[in-house]
């Protein structure tokens, strides 16, 4: 009965897409789904409206309210325009910046959005071609815009696209604006969308912004002398067919690196990502061609950016000369260690600096910050929360870096989203500094573990697609709240943090309040042996994530393999405790 009611609801919603307000191609696609006796696809495409999550609007491309298409994008843009006109009603001219990546339909969605904003009397700065997400964030601030959007699905598979909404500070929208935009979008009917643009209000931007942005990125260089000495550092870079090709090689050259080798097969712009299974620099498979090239030329470092060039993945040689991946936690660790250590060494600290990490990112960063007397802040997952910390301290304290376990890092404050353009340049500088000291990047990582303590992090993604999957994920969180684990891998749970209620409970059952700017559907469990497990449904993908961090002991570099193996074994025991 329940399923029949759902089919009735989605059928009614789908039939609304058979009116002349929708183009013939869309109507034909919807009619095909309606005529199909198997209603699975119809349900998936129409059971809900796409919602803003930690990364904005993101979904599979196709017809339907739960898919990315010109009507869903159009409603989002019309609603956003309506909200901007309410919020900035006293401003003579509201303006927005629009960027997009290499994905199929990204340029179409961007141009349709430009038409809609301009039709609503809003000035549009539209990039002439795909650009890195961080450059779009920079453009909002540089051009004095009130908002911006970026058409991208980041590192998701090829069938996805997305719509990231930004505010005037260059960061993705937070409360109350996110809720305000969603409310306005919810009111929009297809006939309300103003698709006929005003060309007089659309200005094409490109090379002029590139040069200013790259020059700004160059200002974060900490030790230019070490680059001069190691300008021949052998770098292999791949943009994975995406926007990084319009920025990262140029930025590396501007910093003084003269030996950069781009993977030719992946310097081809394509939303089909023909050389990879998925364009995600977290995945070893995506770096295969880059590592092959690195082996061929005996490179010092491999770096990759995702399609919208906000995340950076990397690989380096270990002590045996084998190429190994550096994970997201280690990436963040290396960046913050280098920034803090070398700013101090070169006398570039003034005493009011702070760094930021997300609550699911390695706690070793806390050890580095505390030992060096640098303020460290924890925030929610998503770079909009790191951007919030920068905004709160603007003009009072100096942000010098922040990152998260999912391969995002930001070393500057003139951009308010993660930035692979600056991260790749800074990574090259770290490698140059290491080489200048007779070390590899891998050996620098070992130094960090020896000085600040070893930890191993591992994330389990439990994928549950569709409506039934969303319900399963919701139930998993309910079960964990009602039946919190008492031990993990044999170690007693001593603290449970629930960010949905902002309450934490210790081993004695004492409940206390947590100080966070908002609630979030996240649970954390801490044990006696310093294991940390964070559980969080993804805001942009149909999955629930279990982030695990376990501690180990290293007295010398020779202990690493044993410590890593012991930690891996403990992670398996934690997984068994959680039943995942």
**Nearest 5 degrees, angle CA 501-CA 171-CA 192?**
90
Mean per-residue pLDDT, 202-214: 98
Question: Are 309 and 437 within one domain?
Answer: yes
pLDDT at 54 over 90: no
The two three-digit tokens of residue 567, written as one number = 């930690």
User: What average pLDDT score do residues 286-290 get?
Assistant: 98
**CATH number where 567 lies:** 3.30.310.50
Which of 338, 271, 292 has its CA nearest to residue 109? 271
Identify whether residues 439 and 507 lie together within a single domain. no
**Do 432 and 291 fall within a single domain?**
yes
Looking at 328-422, which runs of residues are DSSP E strands? 353-358, 375-379, 398-404, 408-410
* Percent above pLDDT 70 for the chain: 98
- 52 pLDDT band, cuts 50/70/90, is low
The residue among 56 and 342 whose pLDDT is bigger is 342
Domain boundary among 174, 205, 236: 205
CB-based contact 183:76 (threshold 8 Å): no
- What's the total number of domains in the chain? 4
Residues 406 and 482 in one domain: no
Q: What is the largest CA-CA distance in the chain?
A: 73
The pLDDT of residue 470: 86
Q: Is the dihedral of CA 249, 164, 177, 332 positive or negative?
A: negative
Question: What is the rounded average pLDDT of the residues 22-29?
Answer: 97
Continuous segment of H or E residues that includes residue 291: helix 288-297
Question: What mean pLDDT, rounded, does the chain reach?
Answer: 96
Catalytic, out of 154, 305, 422, 491: 154
Last residue of one domain, picked from the residues 395, 417, 452? 452
Q: How far is CA 553 from CA 340, 361, 451, 564, in A?
A: 24, 19, 11, 9
Q: 112 and 254: one domain?
A: no
pLDDT band at 1 (very low <50, low <70, confident <90, very high): very low
Last residue of a domain, one of 177, 205, 233: 205
173 in the same domain as 75? yes
* Minimum mean pLDDT range among 31-35, 125-129, 183-187, 564-568: 183-187
253 and 199 in a common domain: no
Question: Does the pLDDT value for residue 273 go beyond 70?
Answer: yes
Q: Does the model's pTM come out above 0.85?
A: yes
CATH number, domain at 175? 3.40.120.10
87-141 confidence digits (pLDDT tens): 999 999 999 999 999 999 999 999 999 999 999 999 999 999 999 999 999 999 9
pLDDT band at 182; cut points 50, 70, 90: confident
Q: What is the reported pLDDT for 540?
A: 67
Q: What is the pLDDT of residues 245-263, one digit of tens each?
A: 999 999 999 999 999 999 9
pLDDT tens-digit readout, 389-424:
999 999 999 999 999 999 999 999 999 999 999 999
Q: Are residues 64 and 3 in the same domain?
A: no
The tokens 């490179």 sit on which residue? 299
CA distance 311 to 430: 17
Q: Are 423 and 486 found together in one domain? A: no
User: Which residues constitute the domain of residue 570?
Assistant: 456-578
Q: At what angle do helices 328-345 and 441-452 cross, to 10 degrees?
A: 80
| Residue 154 appears among annotated catalytic residues | yes
Position of tokens 């000369």?
Answer: 321
Please report the pLDDT score of residue 53 as a whole number: 57
**227 and 302, same domain (yes or no):** yes
Element (H, E) at 162: strand 160-167
The CA distance from 73 to 98, in Å, is 13
pLDDT for position 2: 57
Judgement on whether residues 19 and 92 belong to the same structural domain of the protein:
no
Whether 126 and 114 have beta carbons less than 8 Å apart is answered as yes
Please indicate, yes or no, whether residues 443 and 405 belong to a single structural domain of this protein.
yes
Length of the chain: 580
**321, 323, 329, 335: CA torsion to nearest 10:** 70
Best CA proximity match to 153, nearest among 110, 116, 102:
102
């Amino acid at each position: 009965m329940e399923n029949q009611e759902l089919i009735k609801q989605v059928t009614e919603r789908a039939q609304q897409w058979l009116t002349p307000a929708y183009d013939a191609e869309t109507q034909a696609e919807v009619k095909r789904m309606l005529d199909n006796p198997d209603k699975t696809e119809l349900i998936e495409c129409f059971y809900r409206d796409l919602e803003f999550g930690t990364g904005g609007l993101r979904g599979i491309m196709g017809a339907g309210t739960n898919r990315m298409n010109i009507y869903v994008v159009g409603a989002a843009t019309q609603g956003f325009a309506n909200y901007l006109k309410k919020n900035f009603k006293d401003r003579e001219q509201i303006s927005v910046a629009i960027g997009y990546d290499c994905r199929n339909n990204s340029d179409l969605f961007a141009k349709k959005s430009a038409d809609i904003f301009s039709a609503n009397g809003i000035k549009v700065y539209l990039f002439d071609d795909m650009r890195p997400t961080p450059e779009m964030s920079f453009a909002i601030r540089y051009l004095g815009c009130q908002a911006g959007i970026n058409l991208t699905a980041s590192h998701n598979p090829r069938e996805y696209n997305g719509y990231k909404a930004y505010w005037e500070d260059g960061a993705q929208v937070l409360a109350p604006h996110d809720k305000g935009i969603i409310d306005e979008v919810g009111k929009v009917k297809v006939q309300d969308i103003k698709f006929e643009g005003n060309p007089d209000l659309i200005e094409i931007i490109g090379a002029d912004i590139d040069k200013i942005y790259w020059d700004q990125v160059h200002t974060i260089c900490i030790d230019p002398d070490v680059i001069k000495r190691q300008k021949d550092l052998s770098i292999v870079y791949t943009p994975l067919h995406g926007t990084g090709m319009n920025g990262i090689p140029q930025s590396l050259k501007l910093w003084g690196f003269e030996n950069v080798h781009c993977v030719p097969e992946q310097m081809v712009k394509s939303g089909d990502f023909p050389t990879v299974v998925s364009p995600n620099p977290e995945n070893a498979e995506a770096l295969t061609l880059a590592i092959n090239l690195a082996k061929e030329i005996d490179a010092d470092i491999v770096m990759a950016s995702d399609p919208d060039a906000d995340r950076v993945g990397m690989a380096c040689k270990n002590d045996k000369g084998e190429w190994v991946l550096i994970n997201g936690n280690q990436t963040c660790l290396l960046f913050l260690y280098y920034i803090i250590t070398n700013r101090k060494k070169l006398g570039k600290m003034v005493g009011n600096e702070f760094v930021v990490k997300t609550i699911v990112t390695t706690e070793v960063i806390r050890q580095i910050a505390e030992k060096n007397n640098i303020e460290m802040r924890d925030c929610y997952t998503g770079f909009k929360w790191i951007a919030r910390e920068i905004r709160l301290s603007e003009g009072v304290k100096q942000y010098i870096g922040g990152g998260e376990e999912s391969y995002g890092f930001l070393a500057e404050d003139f951009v308010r989203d993660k930035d692979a353009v600056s991260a790749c340049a800074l990574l090259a500088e770290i490698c140059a500094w290491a080489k200048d000291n007779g070390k590899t990047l891998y050996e620098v990582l070992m130094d960090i573990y020896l000085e600040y303590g070893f930890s191993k992090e591992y994330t389990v993604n439990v994928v549950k697609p569709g409506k039934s999957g969303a319900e399963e994920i919701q139930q998993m969180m309910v079960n964990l709240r009602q039946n919190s684990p008492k031990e993990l891998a044999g170690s007693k749970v001593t603290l449970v943090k629930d960010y949905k209620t902002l309450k934490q409970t210790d081993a004695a059952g004492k409940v206390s309040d947590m100080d966070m700017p908002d609630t979030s559907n996240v649970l954390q469990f801490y044990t006696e042996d310093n294991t940390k497990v964070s559980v969080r449904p993804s805001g942009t993908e149909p999955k629930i994530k279990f982030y695990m961090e376990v501690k180990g002991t290293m007295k010398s570099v020779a202990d690493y393999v044993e410590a890593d193996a012991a930690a891996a074994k403990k992670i398996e025991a934690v997984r068994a405790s959680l039943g995942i």
